[in-house]
Amino acid sequence: MRTERLLLRHWQPDNRADVVAALALYSNQQVLRWLGAEPQLGASEETAKEWLEGWAAMDDGIRGLWAIVEQNIDGSEKGSPIGSAILANLPTSDGTPSQATQIAWHLHPEVWGRGYATEAMVAVINRARVAGITEIHALVFPENLASLRLCDRLGMKRLGTTSEWDNVEAIDHLLVL
């Protein structure tokens, strides 16, 4: 997927720059504080490569977890990935299968405030719309003011705090496509 400034592409486990970028992103305390999963501090490049291999398995032709890369005017990549864009099934907290779909974004703090999350999520939402997905959720911790504002910019309706999804207590947002 391409936007005006970004390329969203698969993470590449055999590309050391991708492995190093993923390790830097998912070892950063400022990023980890907003993720519901247990942080894996001190992870190695080998562990990060395994993450990327697992992320590739999430791709079902519609949903996936993509690297966000800045692009040059000619469309070529401008450096290493700066974050992740996600369109995935939303797991329930009790393990019951769910048909719900979520979007999520994880960007390195060095690029926060540049509008990249909004730009990437608009592309992901458009992908979902074209694929026939009719509703998208986003889970945001109440203290994550920047992500709450992003959900507002995307036109998502705040449903309130819930612990129904993904074993976290977060504010559930819904966008009807």
Q: pLDDT tens-digit profile of 67-109?
A: 999 999 999 999 999 999 999 999 899 988 899 999 999 999 9
Q: What is the CA radius of gyration of the chain?
A: 15
Q: What is the reported pLDDT for 7?
A: 97
Q: What are phi and psi of 148, to 5 degrees?
A: -60, -45
Q: What is the reported pLDDT for 37?
A: 57
Q: What is the reported pLDDT for 35?
A: 85
**Contact assessment for residue 70 and residue 78, using Cβ atoms and an 8 Å cutoff:** yes
pTM score, two decimals? 0.94
156: which DSSP letter? P
Structural domains of the chain in order of their starting residue, each with its CATH number:
6-176 (3.40.630.30)
Average pLDDT over residues 125-138: 98
Q: What are phi and psi of 30, to 5 degrees?
A: -65, -30
Q: pLDDT tens-digit profile of 24-71?
A: 999 888 998 898 656 666 679 999 999 999 999 999 999 999 999 999
Q: What is the DSSP string of 74-103?
A: TS-B-SS--EEEEEEE--BTT------EEE
Q: Which two tokens stand for residue 49?
A: 């490569």
